Amino acid sequence: MSKKYRVAVVGATGAVGHEMRAILAERRFPVSEILPLASERSAGIDLEFGDECVTCKELTRDSFAGVDLALFSAGAAISREYAPIARDAGCVVIDNSSAWRMDPAVPLVVPEVNPDDAEWHKGIIANPNCSTIQMVVALKPLHDEARIVRVVVSTYQAVSGTGAKAITELIRQSDEILEGTAPLIQVYPYQIAFNCLPQIDAFLPDGGTKEEQKMVDETKKIMGDDSIAVSATCVRVPVYNGHSESVNVQFERDLSPERARELLAAAPGVELRDDPANLLYPMPITATGTDPVYVGRIRRDSTIPHGLNLWVVADNVRKGAALNAVQIAELLAERDLIRVPR
């Protein structure tokens, strides 16, 4: 990648924006100039980019003049307003919000799973939901081998998925409870410390939540197979960082645990951690700060034909958001796709 690009990071002062800047620098993405953008109140703040110090600027309608690539991590409302403006200015947008994921004209990309979908972008590419990304990275090699019929997934999602305020609340509530005082509840509808909340995002009329529906819809779009049945239950747990998932998969034909391990050990973006005899399995504390999707506890489900159980863990802020976006950017650069089709 000899060509270099002017890159904007929208929402640069948030947790995901911070991680995007760090990963762009770590992976030596060919940046000629980095442009951190955020709200008016963050304008003027000095931010790190590798060894450099760069000044955050206010996001405006004129921010994208001369910018080649923009990574958005500022929420759906901002993305709906500013992503088309950036695209129309000739900038390719990789958006981390839910705004464009299910738009049929917008590719929803996980580079290890469906890289070719990036080829048909029209200026905006969507980054999937964090819980979906790690699951499909683990499922892709298995689907290619034996074709998935049905997935039942239960998630154990860390508070970092809600943001910095939720991490602070978990720490504070834990201290309050251990000190014998009533915990102050601000971020979630109930205390999160020493508790599990079977609700992520708003409830839908059918009793599911928006987070669960995202896993259903996004999985089918990314895998390119609407026939896959997906049932999801998403739960917030008192863990700082790292999402875990219990994934039950039914295949069209038999797939042994041994063969599944072989496939996963060779799969891009996956690290197999599956040695129960030595108590080796994926955990959030070991996934945090790392790139892979970890898979373990692979075993047959004898209650259904051709069934397997998996335990899947990843850093939700890193692989589940920032890293996947940067990997999309790398994919675009490698294929000379950092240009808006006219």
Residues identified as active-site: 130, 243
Residue type, 29: F
Contact in structure between 208 and 230 (CB atoms under 8 Å):
no
Q: Is 303 helix (H, G, I), strand (E, B) or coil?
A: coil
Query: What is the enclosing helix (H) or strand (E) of 92?
Result: strand 92-95
Q: Is 291 helix (H, G, I), strand (E, B) or coil?
A: coil
DSSP alpha helix (H) spans, the chain: 15-26, 76-88, 130-146, 164-178, 210-223, 257-266, 284-287, 323-334
C-alpha span between 275 and 297 (Å, rounded) = 8
DSSP 123-156: SEEEPPPHHHHHHHHHHHHHHHHH-EEEEEEEEE
C-alpha span between 50 and 233 (Å, rounded) = 39
Residues across the chain: 342
